Amino acid sequence: MPSASALPEPLAEALDAGLALMQLDSVHPDQRQLLIQYVLLLQRWNSTHNLTAVRDPLEMISRHLLDSLAVLPFLDAGRVADIGSGAGLPGIPLAICRSTQAFTLVEPASKRVAFLRSVLAELGLSHVQVVPTTSEKYEPEKLPDILISRATAPLARLDAMTIHLQGPQSRVLAMKGPGVEEELADWPRAAALELRCHDLQVPGSPLRKLLIWTNPLQMP
């Protein structure tokens, strides 16, 4: 793992500038170092494992790190499950900045699972675990307090994939790009939910949306 002095300065500068614009100055310098180290690991593994279409580590700062961390102000306390985590997005950046919360990265693809486990070991993220399965087959002993998804599936499909994980107090955070209106129109259960929609302003990226809902209390 590179030392702080060995971290590429342009990456650190881009991260610092982006966090300042997003008013996330509370991210500690040690956490910023871990975020950059995560990007370097992603770049290294990506050359042989094709984990993300983004190849330039500087572009990864905005497209991956800042995009993931835009959710930070909306992330309450409790157990977090990152559904379809892929290369660990948004779960790993969020977990780096929330070291007292338990995170579970749910990901079925074996090459991504191998990468995630390597990241957790190299960065010392002992509060994060990887579950190598699909969300439909994920059956935790305790339901997550928060389910989060970064463009894993259309809203109706995401809801169906995770309905067994949504307890009466669970909160679902779905990060979406353009086309969310069409997804809402194709999701009949949306009418029964109190949906909140927030704009996510990420420097260097198009406007994103964050949809939040809580599963209705189950009646006896």
89 is in an annotated binding site: yes
Q: Is 62 annotated as a binding residue?
A: no
Q: 88 with 106: CB under 8 angstroms?
A: no
Is-contact 82 108, C-beta < 8 A? no
- Measured CA to CA, the distance from residue 64 to residue 52 in angstroms comes to 10
CB atoms within 10 A of CB 61: 27
Q: In sequence order, what E strands does 1-91 have?
A: 80-83
User: Any known ligand binding at 177?
Assistant: no
Q: Is residue 195 part of an annotated ligand binding site?
A: no
Which residues does 171 contact at the CB level (< 8 Å), separation at least 6?
Answer: 76, 145, 146, 147, 212, 213, 214
Q: What is the distance between the alpha carbons of residues 90 and 139, in angstroms, rounded to a whole number?
A: 21
Strand partners, 209: 176, 199
Question: For residue 175, what are the β-bridge partners?
Answer: 150, 210
Instruction: Determine whether the annotation assigns residue 150 to a binding site.
Output: yes
The 10 Å Cβ neighbour count of residue 48 is 8
* 8 C-beta neighbours (distance < 10 Å), count: 14
Backbone angles phi, psi at 70, to 5 degrees: -60, -20
Both tokens of 39, joined, read 């990007």
**Binding-site residues, please?**
84, 89, 135-136, 150
Binding-site positions for S-adenosyl-L-methionine: 84, 89, 135-136, 150
